[in-house]
A and B are shown apart, each in its own frame.
Chain A
């Protein structure tokens, strides 16, 4: 039947879960390359702020241009890479195969969800070219400046509106995806396959879908309120007597802090939407490549569910310096520490899984081990930041940037790599090239530590994040060599990703052919 359908229905507007999974994966791949190039450009600007760049207006990078690149980097990476690839990409491809279903529960909704995501990405990319400059409020878009419109300066006009529209589109697509994931995993399992027999990867996708469903449902109304403040003169987030660019604005009574609450009520669970599917993928890869069943399966499931619940109760730890009551701060701090418990359960069980196993140290396994390493290194600094008194100093410094890049940025990217190298034989019937894969792993693994560990030192020295030119400040001048080191590490690591890209597309056609179940996995997707 599919043979009769045209090329367009089969590969573009397809309702097939495998095609949609690959579409999501390619969308994330494009976004990742673009977002990474932006980060390299930012790193270069930080150490050579006065470099002549011929094709830019004025021949130099303005602070506004730097901020718009930073906003685009954060938004693209968080939404269109980290939320998209582990969940929508691998999830759509693997869930029906792992639970023995013919397809997702709602195939047409699935297609709509992908194309809404695509539209969101197009709107975001177009916002960079908006009249008055690209959006520059960061991925958190704090008011008041993000909510007053053009009067606040470059990028705050049409660019910021388009940013909000893009996020709203992405959120709606995520809601559709979550509904599909939940219905599929709860109701379409093969007869006899109980919830507690699901591979942990399925539990990762299910728990992330639950978080995504409830979190994106809050981001959409928050974005609508901001659009209204910007365009229809309401005062949800804007206080009275606000003076911007020498003009008194006619708003009254709103609160910028209200946005922070709404945003972080979404924003913190968002990091679990990223890391839960990553944890699931890693659990599956570690067990298979250790030739052992996962250690402590039940504890792993309960730990994920605990993260789902706790994840919704810790948003205040992003707001310790917002003037919040110290009592609230302590409550948020204690719940934040509590997240460490399920996280530690998972880490120990991963170690328990590889302990005594006959390890297969192929590329997917290396990236899985790299994930565990990054998860621990990035998690420990979270304990620092979760203390209100310490966060007072670290807030908005490079320490935070180092922390979240390790734990949710690069760790999740490692899960994407692990999943790609691991499932590639299933998807294309061929292996990815192993020497190229190993080279890719070692350079990336050492490289990301060389980029992000020094950021913690810069944070210790009080280096604020988001500053386009830290060298304007005398107390930061001594950090120049550290920043040069980070920039060189970033360029090297970014260049190594070229090896991955070549390997990916070369192996699709030319890779060593793989048998039906080359890793001798026990999960259902390989048993066809």
Chain B
């Protein structure tokens, strides 16, 4: 069930390649945000809804649960995270300001991948699903820091 030893090397390479592409996509959006903020002259920060901090706790717990071998609990927490994100989106109008727009794009793209990660719990090799899940947790923490420290101003 657990253990990197039994996973074929190609699956791991494929997973890392995918993580590389996802990272690249988020870096592209980050640089777009930097440019948009600097050039636009109309930057407004996005008021971060409180629920995203709850969501952060939920996705970190999901990662921990997966590490403990509680796959079912991870799936439930994953769905809970997506539900929490929907609550956050309801507080933010996408076109009300550039900060809002970027918040939407970043979080929606992340949520798309979380949906995939929940599916991967049932479909992919356990070790692959595990690494992918942790990768998305780290990616979420990056997004939280980006918006809590910079995007909200």
Instruction: List residues of A whose CB falls within 8 A of some B CB.
Output: 105-106, 109, 175, 178-180, 182-184, 186-188, 213-214, 216-218, 220-222, 224-225, 228, 232-236, 240, 252-255, 257-258, 261-262, 265
Contacts and interface: CB of A to CB of B under 8 A. Distances in A.
Interface string B100-128: 01001100010000000000000000000
B98 A235 contact: yes
Nearest to B29: A221
B10 A188 contact: yes
Interface stretch (B16-24, B67-75, B140-148): B16-24
B28 A106 contact: no
A435 to B, nearest CB: 45
B132 to A, nearest CB: 13
15 contacts: A105-B11, A105-B14, A175-B18, A183-B14, A188-B10, A214-B21, A218-B25, A221-B109, A232-B95, A234-B94, A235-B42, A235-B98, A255-B36, A258-B36, A258-B39
Pairs of residues from A and B, 10 with the lowest C-beta to C-beta distance, nearest first: A253-B42, A253-B40, A233-B95, A217-B24, A187-B10, A105-B10, A217-B21, A183-B14, A218-B28, A234-B101
Contacts of B14: 105-106, 109, 179-180, 182-183
B42 A252 contact: yes
Contacts of B28: 217-218, 221-222, 262, 265
Contact of A253 (B24, B29, B43, B109): B43
A106 to B, nearest CB: 6
A66 B6 CA distance: 57
A253 B36 contact: yes
Given A232-B95, A234-B95, A258-B35, A182 B105 contact: no
Given A218-B28, A224-B105, A252-B42, A187 B36 contact: no
A236 B32 contact: yes
B91 to A, nearest CB: 17
Contacts of A254: 36, 40, 98
Contacts of B21: 175, 178-179, 213-214, 216-217
Contacts of A216: 21
Contacts of A214: 20-21, 24
Contact of B9 (A179, A187, A252, A265): A187
Given A228-B105, A254-B98, 11 more contacts: A175-B21, A182-B13, A187-B13, A188-B10, A214-B20, A214-B21, A228-B101, A233-B95, A234-B101, A236-B36, A258-B35
Nearest to B108: A224
A165 to B, nearest CB: 15
Interface in B8-58: 8-11, 13-14, 17-18, 20-22, 24-25, 28-29, 32, 35-36, 39-43
Contact of A236 (B8, B20, B42, B101): B101
A173 to B, nearest CB: 13
Interface centre among B28, B43, B98, B109 (most CB of A within 10 A): B28
Given A221-B105, A234-B94, A258 B32 contact: yes
Contacts of A180: 14
B25 A183 contact: no
With most chain B CB atoms within 10 A of its CB, the pick from A106, A214, A252 is A214
Given A183-B10, A265-B28, A255 B101 contact: no
A178 B22 CA distance: 13
A265 B30 CA distance: 14
Contacts of A262: 28, 32
B106 to A, nearest CB: 9
B12 to A, nearest CB: 8
Given A213-B20, A258-B35, A184 B10 contact: yes
B101 A218 contact: no
Nearest to A250: B95
A341 B26 CA distance: 32
B138 to A, nearest CB: 17
Contacts of B95: 232-235
Nearest to B39: A255
Nearest to A178: B17
Nearest to B38: A255
A266 to B, nearest CB: 9
B43 to A, nearest CB: 7
Given A234-B94, A253-B41, A255-B39, A179 B18 contact: yes
A50 B30 CA distance: 49
Contacts of A255: 35-36, 39-40
A493 B36 CA distance: 46
Contact of A183 (B13, B29, B109): B13
Contacts of B39: 253, 255, 257-258
A319 B22 CA distance: 26
Contacts of B41: 253
Contacts of B109: 221, 224
Contacts of A228: 94, 101, 104-105
A186 B16 CA distance: 12
A233 B104 CA distance: 13
A108 B10 CA distance: 14
A257 B31 CA distance: 13
Contacts of B29: 221
Given A220-B25, A258-B39, A179 B17 contact: yes
Given A213-B21, A221-B25, A240 B13 contact: no
Contacts of B9: 187
